[in-house]
């Protein structure tokens, strides 16, 4: 019942559903933790910038839940796999997205849209653009305000044990918790990230095939970011196995060298793009967003 309500809300809310009159490829947005689809100073502002730069374009900012309060809550509490499934169903029923779309994921919305690209049948995602995404997960939860009761509870639960079944199944941040000190436990107990990275012993070849259908996979890293630990996760890097000090680049990881997801093949084909901005988490200028993102990866060639 709950998932039916969530899906109804995704279909009904979160952006303009008037048909676009632009021939430009539509855009789908998924917000991050602590945000909602429609705040005018965050995703609402992003949506407006895209629409002003590309008149008539169809842009939908996803709302998970029955209203923006629930939408924010579902960024903390719930099951990421169920939310991805519901978004897959939404895409399949939105006529504006049937012929393809670009996807923009902000913070944890980045790895959720990566899951959409890997898992959703018949989805035509052209470019995936992640901003500060925890693409290889996190091993720490900084910058979650001490006076925020939800953040305090999340930190407490993660410190107790992110891989305890009831925490994994109900706490979004635990589902992309990546413990480099015990990778066997990670592979066994992680219900979302281990599957997303194809890190389990039995690989899902469909994930690799689907991800390689992308025309471009653009990863934006914020060079002053203190929110994502390790920061290199924004470019798909992570701690070397067995410790939490030395960080490997994507190209040095087993994920890449054994090509679990086809990322090596994509890199060799010129499909991977590693962009950066000299700012804190998700802090970038409008000019940079327009020139580096919209003009290069969203505005269709004439």
So which residues are the catalytic ones? 107, 225, 281
Quote the CA–CA distance of 44 and 36 in Å, as a whole number.
9
The closest of 229, 254, 250, 226 to 241, measured between CA atoms, is: 254
Positive or negative torsion for Cα 140, 142, 146, 151: negative
Q: Which residues contact 106 (CB under 8 A, 6 or more apart)?
A: 29, 30, 31, 32, 35, 43, 46, 131, 132, 133, 282
Question: Residue 104 — φ and ψ, nearest 5°?
Answer: -120, 120
Find out whether the peptide bond into 230 is cis, omega within 30 degrees of 0: yes
Q: Are the C-beta atoms of residues 30 and 112 closer than 8 Å to each other?
A: yes
- Which residues, listed in sequence order, are joined to residue 24 by a DSSP beta bridge? none
């Amino acid at each position: 019942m709950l998932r039916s309500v969530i899906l109804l809300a995704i279909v009904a809310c979160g952006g303009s559903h008037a048909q676009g009159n632009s021939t430009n490829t539509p855009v789908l947005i998924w917000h991050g933790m602590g945000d909602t689809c429609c705040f005018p100073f965050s995703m609402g502002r992003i949506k407006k910038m895209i629409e002003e730069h590309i008149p008539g374009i169809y842009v939908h900012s996803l709302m998970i839940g029955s209203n923006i309060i629930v939408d924010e809550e579902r960024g903390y509490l719930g099951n990421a796999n169920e939310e991805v499934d519901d978004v897959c169903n939404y895409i399949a029923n939105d006529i504006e997205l049937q012929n393809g779309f670009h996807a923009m994921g902000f913070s944890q919305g980045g790895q959720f849209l990566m899951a959409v690209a890997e898992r959703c049948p018949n989805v035509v995602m052209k470019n995936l653009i992640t901003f500060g995404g925890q693409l290889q997960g996190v091993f720490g939860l900084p910058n979650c305000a001490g006076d925020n009761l939800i953040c305090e509870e999340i930190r407490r639960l993660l410190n107790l044990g992110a891989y305890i079944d009831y925490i994994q199944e109900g706490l979004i941040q635990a589902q992309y918790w990546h413990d480099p000190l015990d990778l066997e436990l990670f592979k066994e107990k992680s219900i979302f990230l281990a599957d997303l990275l194809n890190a389990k012993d039995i690989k899902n070849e469909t994930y690799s095939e689907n991800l390689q259908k992308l025309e471009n996979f653009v990863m934006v890293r914020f060079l002053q970011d203190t929110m994502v630990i390790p920061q290199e996760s924004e470019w798909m890097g992570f701690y070397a196995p067995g410790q939490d000090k030395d960080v490997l680049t994507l190209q040095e990881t087993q994920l890449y060298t054994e090509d679990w997801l086809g990322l090596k093949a994509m890199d060799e084909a010129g499909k991977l793009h590693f962009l950066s901005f000299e700012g804190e988490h998700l802090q970038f200028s409008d000019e940079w967003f327009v020139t580096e993102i919209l003009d290069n990866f969203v505005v269709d060639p004439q």
